[in-house]
Structure 1
Amino acid sequence: PLPFWCTTFPRVVRRTLCRRLRREVLWNGNVEPPLRTLFTHRENVIRWSVSTRHKYRALLLSPGAFDTGTTPIVRLRSQSEVDRWLAGPLTSAARGRAGF
């Protein structure tokens, strides 16, 4: 999991604000609710991200959470680590080369 307050939270806020201001259609004609719902509705996506951050972090980091025995688990802790990992073997594989 990436750091919540400096990575995940700003992304959630930015995406939510942009979708609301542009009135982007999400699915089935739904749009982001008015911004005041941040203060009035517990299920607001920004409030939800804050209230559930520990729950999902604990789930992802629990021993055996993804222990399939065959699937390697890669733990990336920053956006720069994500970028480097994506630019590595995955890029080569996507281009059809054997980069492993």
Structure 2
Amino acid sequence: MKKINIVGTSGSGKSTVGQRLATKLNIPFIEMDALYWKPNWQEPSDEEFFAHLATALQQDRWVLDGNYNRTVAIKWADVDTVIWIDYSFARTLFQAVRRAIVRSLGQKEIWANTGNKESLRKTFFSKDSIILWTLKTYKKNRTRYQALLDDPNYSHIQFVRLTSPAKVDAFINQMSVD
């Protein structure tokens, strides 16, 4: 495994798993949200975002976390492994809520040089709520990733589906640096 994409619904733990795996394999970790979000929660054009992503993926080895379905052609062009964090709905929702509360109360900048911080108002009382996003996308993401797993166009990719934190731990613990 040299080029790995971690996917899963918001709140599933993609970044945490990605950072752990990158550390274990001693390869760069790339967070798609950090490439995407601009200061003050501004969104880039697709052209700008795709260019940032393509540049970041020019390395020989990496662990990339993130879905962004419209980037599949870019991020899966050279990927050899896709790890799907597919926890139960209850577990994923719990993690999303916990993360949102911790971020809101901590008021730490999420991505360097953006000034972007979570707030309780945005988390619980906004149409842009990450919790609402998790609720809306959980089932759709599971359906989509199962279809991609079965799609012969991606038969060259090793798909790994991890359904619990214990399975994530076992998977990462059995990894070795090449």
Asked if Structure 1 and Structure 2 have the same fold, meaning a TM-score greater than 0.5 normalized by the shorter chain, the answer is yes
Residues 1:83 and 2:163 are matched in the alignment: no
1:74 paired residue number: 160
SS in 1 for 2:157: coil
**Whole-Å Cα distance in 2 between the matches of residues 14 and 67 of structure 1?**
37
Residues 1:24 and 2:108 are matched in the alignment: yes
Q: Percent identity?
A: 29
- Report the TM-score, using the length of structure 1 for normalisation: 0.76
If asked which structure has higher relative contact order (CA below 8 Å, sep 6+), I would say: 2
Q: Give the gaps of 5 or more residues in structure 1.
A: none
2:130 paired residue number: 45
Count of paired positions: 89
Q: Give the gaps of 5 or more residues in structure 2.
A: 1-85
Residues 1:15 and 2:99 are matched in the alignment: yes
**Whole-Å Cα distance in 2 between the matches of residues 80 and 67 of structure 1?**
30
Change in Cα spacing, 1:16 to 1:56, as seen in structure 2 (3 Å) is same
2:143 paired residue number: 58
Moved over 3 A (4+): 36-40
Could you tell me how far 1:60 is from its partner in structure 2? 0.6
Q: CA RMSD in A?
A: 1.8
- Would you tell me which structure has more strand in proportion to its own residues? 2
Could you tell me how far 1:2 is from its partner in structure 2? 1.1
SS in 1 for 2:154: coil
**Whole-Å Cα distance in 1 between the matches of residues 107 and 123 of structure 2?**
17
**Whole-Å Cα distance in 2 between the matches of residues 80 and 2 of structure 1?**
11
- Report the TM-score, using the length of structure 2 for normalisation: 0.45
Could you tell me how far 1:40 is from its partner in structure 2? 3.2
**Whole-Å Cα distance in 1 between the matches of residues 163 and 118 of structure 2?**
30
